Structure 1
């Protein structure tokens, strides 16, 4: 069935979801929504990628729209002011480009290049205004997107975002070392690392920008709120693993729930796929229960002071977008060219990646 009752693009067609990846509960119970700013979002993020030299012009022209990065964000941060959604979408596009650079540095054995980039990103995160003209477009683009994100809520939110993203950079470094050594983490170690490499708390932090409300610690760390947030992100990370398993096996990856299950639990490929599907399905079931608890928590806030009522409204909006994450992630994986490995000339090399732009000579 199509992701939308009507197309978001003049040339879009209904997406056929492979049986092994199809989740009828998402298609039936998690209707997909799209921010009305989406057409402009797609256009402006495409222009931003060009302006910041994050992808070569020919790659942007041929692949940017088909990668559907803006669709993913426009289906998640519903209700965000246009300017906020644009900043989030550009940051998200940067994140995908960074992920590709990290992958190419591993594939082409460039530990020194990765080490430099890791250090530069840490520094740019703490002082983005000083890195807007950095010679590496990836660092300059990061500085630009972070500086814009920092403009919306204030210093305490900014410090939390920075703390969370410093941890993401270090998790990417651990992944770099694991892949270089061919080390497959155990299932438990992988799941812990995955929460960082997938940036669970970054995407959750950005929900506050969407709601135009910084949540205090007692709200963010309330068990009802935290459980709903975690389940929505776990679903996304594990469904990504399910969909990217062929691509990552082809690329000699070691970081995928399926690969850890095969390597450490002795499962066959088919059994690993079944187990990931089971975990993904359980996430959906558990989220529906957690969502109710989170909404009840929001209602308790609405009974308090004016400030608490504002927080209650924000929490309800955020929980609604946690629900949106399920459908937007699901359809993204079937619409984006990022996962169409069977159509690539080389199953280990994405066609939208330019090796020379990533530092090869």
Structure 2
């Protein structure tokens, strides 16, 4: 299915996908979904970015819509209440801003600034209300996101989300030290780290407030459910690696599956691209198999009781949105200005980032 025009309409129109990145299985088998709240979502997230000081008004005007962050989330979490989707979209915009700060801190060797931010983010996770008015926009924006996300489900979900988030912060720290030390992780080291820096378990956790149901551990740990969940995330992370390889090589990045394959497996650039693509395609076929198993599992859960029916409906809703990751991620990479490196004045510096860390040049 063709992608939709950004900015002002949800009418579908073809997107240009380079042959090396084209996945006919996605275009044919994973119809693109879009939450009806999307136009308001886009407007509100622009306002939130300005309120939180995460982007300046000129930057928002020039780049925010073209980065397509709200489009990405509006394609993931179909069926979410509007206020849940808004909180997720704002958090996602924060995550991209944090990722950009991390990259700039690496590039400019700002170890002390990064360490301060790392410590503050850990503290904010544990007591977000105490950091709502912090001078660093990234800390204040994170605090605002956590207060909102913690409000939707119970303490068990909140603790799990915090645990996963602490792990992501530490993974970013690991990547920081790898990059500043010139270390390219091995393929296996990279895959383990990538599951954290891509925040696999965070995006999967957010399926639950979208479905308005906290899944019990027995469901989350079910082999078929876990496999489907992991594959949708692996697809997203590895397709991101495939699409961002030119940007990351231009910027001297060391963390990309393709780069690890070149550095440690002796592959040429062409061979590494082919191997990453192979892994991406295996995620699609693997997910389709796991999806059938999860649907059968949901039928078993739906045992005639009210609780069984509610739980089965939640499982199906989460599975449906796992499926939506494939199409939303796919089109996002061909519409977002985040990956249009050839259009930048400096291929190593995104035009929408702020090169300053909080409080220093």
Q: TM-score, normalised by structure 2?
A: 0.97
Q: 2:264 maps to what in 1?
A: 264
5 Å matches for 1:1-361? 2-4=2-4, 9-10=8-9, 14-303=14-303, 305-356=305-356, 360-361=360-361
Q: Cα deviations across residues 121-142 of structure 1 (Å, max 9, x unaligned)?
A: 0000010011100111100000
Query: What's the offset of the Cα at 1:10?
Result: 4.8
Q: TM-score, normalised by structure 1?
A: 0.97
Q: Cα deviations across residues 261-305 of structure 1 (Å, max 9, x unaligned)?
A: 000000000000000010000000000000001111111100153
Answer whether contact 2:261 2:267 (CA < 8 A) is retained: yes
Aligned residues: 360
Query: What's the offset of the Cα at 1:162?
Result: 0.1
Answer whether contact 1:68 1:332 (CA < 8 A) is retained: yes
Answer whether contact 2:7 2:65 (CA < 8 A) is retained: no
CA distance in 2, matches of 1:8, 1:116: 36
Unaligned runs of 5+ residues in structure 1 are none
CA distance in 1, matches of 2:272, 2:340: 20
CA distance in 2, matches of 1:129, 1:358: 20
Query: What's the offset of the Cα at 1:56?
Result: 1.4
Unaligned runs of 5+ residues in structure 2 are none
Query: How large is the Cα RMSD of the aligned pairs?
Result: 1.4
CA distance in 2, matches of 1:169, 1:219: 26
CA distance in 2, matches of 1:7, 1:44: 16
Query: What's the offset of the Cα at 1:357?
Result: 6.0
Query: What's the offset of the Cα at 1:360?
Result: 4.5
